[in-house]
Structure formats: C-alpha cells, structure tokens
C-alpha cells in the first residue's frame, strides 16, 4: 500500500507541549515551531536567555516533516554564481557558514539516536562536464577542495559529478524529538495579530523585547518587502522500498533533474518541481524515472515539499527590516532548509546576544533587491491580481489556481495553499478561504 505522507512521520512520537493560556512576558518571542525556530530556542536556552516559542499547530507539522533531510553545504552549482554576484570574500562566507552548520549538526547528532550518517554530497550532470569543472574551479578559488569525479552510483550515464566530503543525512523528526524536550514551547498557540512588542493569541497576549519570525514565509507584510523578495516552489518525493543503498547523496545540476538519496532500505527520489500555482512534472515525472530505472521496486511513500526562494539564492537571515527594530527573520532557504536552519539559528542567537557573527553580513535581509527575479515576481503578482477568479487568496488578493494533482487551491504570487474545502495548507496566508 502506497501512503501519501512523509517517511519521517512513520512511527515517530514528538514531545507534546501545552497551549498558552493567559498573558505572558518574555525577552525573546519565537514564532514558528519548525526546524529553524526550534534550533533558535535550543541555542537561546543554552545561552540562558528568557524566551518562548509559539507554534500554531504541532511542532514540525509543516515544512520540516517534508524535507529530504540532507545536511550539506553543497546547494547545487551555486558557488560559481556567488563568485560572480557577491565576490570571493562573501562566497567564502556563505560556504563557511554552512560548513559550520554541518559541524554543529555532527556534534549534536552524535549524542542522540537520529539515524545520522556521514555521506558525500554530489551534484551530477548528464551532459555538461564544463559546468562541473567551473564549479570545482570556483570552490578551489575560495579555499575549498571539492572532489571532481567521473564515477557515480546512478543507474544512467553521467559526465561526472562535483562532490563535497563529510556531509550528512539524518532523520529530522528524531533529531527534533531529541533536542526539543524541556524547551519553552507552546503548541496550538496561533498568533492572530502583531502589535508593537506584543503578539495577540486566541487566549492571551505575549509581550516581548525581541521577536524572531521563523514561520517559513514571514507573516508580516508591512515591512521588508518579503512578498516581492520571495516566491515559493513545490517539489516532490517518492520512497522506493528494498533498494540497493547509495553511499552518496546526488542532485542533478539541470533545472528539471532528479535527486537521489538512501534512507535505510528506502531510496528517496526527488523531482517534478515547479513554482507554486504553476504546472510541473509532479510525482508522475519521478514515477516515470522509477519505472525506467527501478522497475522491480515498490513505491511505499510519496509526499511534497514547499520552499521559499529568494532573489539571489541566498537566505534572508538577520534583522527583519529597518521599520521593525528588535525583530529578526529566518526565511528563503532555497530548498536547503536543514543546513540553513542551523546557520540561521547560530546567526540569530549571536544577534540576540549582541555578539558579532562572522557570517551575518552575507545573509542580511536588507541587501540589494535589484535582481531579475524581482521583476518576475512583480509581473506574476500583477498578472494574478488582475485575473478574474472566484477564488482569491486572503493573503494579498491574488487569483488562486486549482492544482489537479494535489487537489488544492494554490497562489502563484506567494505560495499560499488551501485544500478543496478552503482550509489553509501553507502560508503566508494566516487563515482559511472565506466561504
């Protein structure tokens, strides 16, 4: 039997936390109980900071449970692009921040049972060796030694791959179960409204000095221009049972390529990606690959993930905006949410503690916005705001599109999603469709 759910939700019991009832004061409020928010809470707890984390539902019930759970600094062929766009110093800053995140996971995971495994990560190409060589050259120029190889474990011909040694994979919900116990978390505590240094929930108000938005897509639309600076992207995964294990983790450099990684007796195939609200290959694209290369393996699970994409491929981590002093954000992880969550928690903890962080500069959310993707985002928003439709997104009013594959109403502008009955599935919208 094939189950439409993430493999990480099988036989997992996360710690439960009470709902906040009544008013509360805290120095730091974290909104969002996914991996980024929980890691922020963990580091603030270790630093002795008075904090509280609120989650509208259950912890890790959103994006975190749908990851492919790779811990790596290799985010596609990104470093040759970073060298051109931000220069050697900042490209190295980006790499070092992520390598530091990989090491932090290693230290934490070795103290708990979370299926942590050290692995090589690879970006492969089926037809363009020069792209791989250019990436290897870019990495060498910023002081990193990649592995350029002709050999891959994949079931089809490639022209090689660029490899990063000593990266990792793990079980994200087992990891969260290990670090979340004892943290000051309130579940089923939905923030309905934000005022100056006050968050309003259904059962009381929380006053705070500093605030961290860890809500995947930021819930404040008035500052920072995040609806223009980001869009959302969907991607799809299937888990094939009784597969020959892969030693490495693989992702195609091509836009519509496939990713491969093993977990126990399963092979996780990813692909079919597209901008939320637009058409794409979805699971059928992955299943076609499975039928071609793994005809004797049975599909056991299938699920989808949604990711916030930035203008330049670098997350927004740091001060929310000039207009919201004391507020911070972690968003735009560009499909690399596990490593980026750790990097974000490290940077934001330092900022909260007013300590200098060596990597904060490259992730500054207020950096230059003039990028080609900005105009694509703007044009998409205008087009869908002007589209006649009976279903409008309550976030900023864009026309919703029916997703036949997933049976949902999806917003092409900012990625909010609703089921067939209008119930909210993915933010930035904060409520259901009006009937």
In terms of domains, do 413 and 378 share one?
Answer: yes
* pLDDT tens digits for range 108-127: 999 899 999 999 999 999 99
Residues 191 and 218 in one domain: yes
Same domain as 417, residue 381:
yes
Give the per-residue pLDDT at 379: 93
Q: Say if residue 201's pLDDT is above 90.
A: yes
State the total domains in the chain. 2
Q: What is the pLDDT of residue 182?
A: 94
Tell me the average pLDDT across 402-408: 93
Q: What is the pLDDT of residue 52?
A: 98
Q: Are both 323 and 359 inside the same structural domain? A: yes
Indicate the range of 1-5, 261-265, 422-426 predicted with least confidence. 1-5
Residue 61 lies inside a defined structural domain of this protein: yes
**Same domain assignment for residues 391 and 346:** no
For the domain that residue 394 is a member of, what is the CATH number?
Answer: 2.102.10.10
Mean pLDDT of all residues in 216-244: 94
Q: 330-361 pLDDT, tens per residue?
A: 999 999 999 999 999 999 999 999 999 999 99
* CATH number, domain with residue 358: 3.50.50.60
Note whether residue 285 is domain-resident: no
How much is the mean pLDDT over the chain?
Answer: 95
What's the confidence (pLDDT) of residue 370?
A: 93
Could you give the percent of the chain with pLDDT greater than 90? 92
| Residue 149 maps to a domain | no
The residue among 346, 363, 380 that closes a domain is 363
Same-domain check for residues 346 and 380: no
Mark which of 341, 363, 385 sits at the end of a domain: 363
Confidence (pTM): 0.95
Instruction: Give the mean model confidence (pLDDT) for residues 35-59.
Output: 97
Residues 62, 17 share a domain: yes
Q: Model confidence over 266-280: pLDDT tens digits?
A: 999 999 999 999 998
* pLDDT attached to residue 79: 98
Domain-located, residue 237: no
Task: Kindly state whether residues 223 and 179 are assigned to the same domain.
Answer: yes
- Greatest alpha-carbon pair distance for the chain in Å reads 61
Which range marks the domain in which residue 376 is found?
372-425
pLDDT band (50, 70, 90) for residue 170: very high
pLDDT band at 389 (very low <50, low <70, confident <90, very high): confident
Residues 387 and 353 in one domain: no
Section 171-176 average pLDDT = 98
Query: For residues 359-375, b (16+ Cβ closer than 10 Å) or e, as one string?
Result: bbebbebebeeebebbe
Say what the pLDDT of residue 295 is: 95
For residue 293, being part of any structural domain is answered with no
Q: Residue 434: its pLDDT value, please?
A: 83
In a domain, 337, yes or no: yes
Q: With cut-offs at 50, 70 and 90, classify the pLDDT of residue 2.
A: confident
- Whether 182 and 211 map to the same domain: the answer is yes
pLDDT at 151: 86
User: Mean pLDDT over residues 289-312, rounded?
Assistant: 96
> Is the same domain home to 352 and 395?
no
What's the pLDDT at 256?
87
pLDDT at 424: 92
Q: Is residue 57 part of a domain?
A: yes
């Amino acid at each position: 039997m094939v189950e439409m759910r993430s493999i990480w939700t099988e036989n997992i019991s996360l710690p439960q936390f009470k709902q906040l009832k009544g008013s509360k004061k805290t120095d730091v409020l974290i909104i969002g109980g996914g991996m980024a928010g929980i890691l922020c809470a963990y580091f603030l707890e270790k630093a002795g900071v008075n904090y509280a984390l609120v989650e509208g539902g259950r912890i890790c019930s959103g994006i975190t449970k749908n990851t492919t759970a790779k811990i790596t600094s290799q985010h596609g062929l990104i470093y040759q692009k970073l060298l051109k766009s931000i220069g050697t110093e900042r490209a190295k800053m980006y790499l070092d921040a992520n390598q530091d995140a990989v090491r932090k996971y290693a230290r934490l995971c070795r103290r708990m049972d979370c299926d942590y495994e050290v692995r090589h990560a690879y970006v492969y190409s089926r037809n363009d060796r020069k792209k791989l060589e250019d990436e290897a050259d870019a990495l060498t120029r910023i002081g990193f030694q990649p592995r350029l190889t002709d050999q891959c474990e994949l079931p089809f011909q490639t022209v090689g791959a660029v490899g990063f040694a000593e990266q990792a994979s793990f079980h994200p919900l087992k990891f969260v179960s290990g670090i979340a116990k004892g943290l000051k978390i309130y579940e089923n505590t939905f923030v309905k409204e934000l005022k100056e240094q006050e968050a309003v929930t259904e059962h009381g108000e929380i006053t705070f000095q500093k605030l961290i938005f860890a809500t995947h897509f930021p819930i404040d639309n008035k500052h920072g221009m995040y609806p223009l600076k980001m869009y959302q992207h969907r991607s799809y995964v299937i888990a094939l049972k009784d597969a020959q294990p892969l030693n490495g983790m693989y992702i195609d450099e091509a836009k519509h390529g496939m990713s491969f990684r093993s977990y126990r007796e399963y092979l996780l195939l990813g692909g079919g990606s597209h901008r939320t609200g637009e058409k794409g290959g979805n699971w059928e694209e992955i299943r076609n690959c499975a039928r071609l290369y793994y005809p004797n393996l049975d599909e056991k699970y299938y699920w989808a993930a949604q990711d916030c994409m930035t203008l330049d491929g670098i997350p927004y981590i740091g001060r929310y905006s000039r207009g919201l002093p004391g507020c911070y954000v972690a968003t735009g992880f560009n499909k690399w949410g596990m490593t980026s969550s750790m990097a974000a928690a490290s940077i934001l903890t330092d900022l909260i503690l007013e300590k200098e962080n060596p990597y904060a500069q490259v992730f500054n959310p207020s950096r230059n916005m003039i990028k080609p993707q900005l105009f694509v985002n703007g044009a998409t928003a205008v087009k869908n705001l002007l589209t006649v439709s009976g279903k409008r997104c309550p976030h900023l009013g864009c026309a919703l599109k029916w997703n036949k594959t997933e049976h949902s109403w999806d917003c092409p502008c900012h990625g909010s999603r609703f089921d067939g009955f209008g119930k909210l599935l993915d933010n930035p919208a904060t409520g259901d469709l009006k009937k």
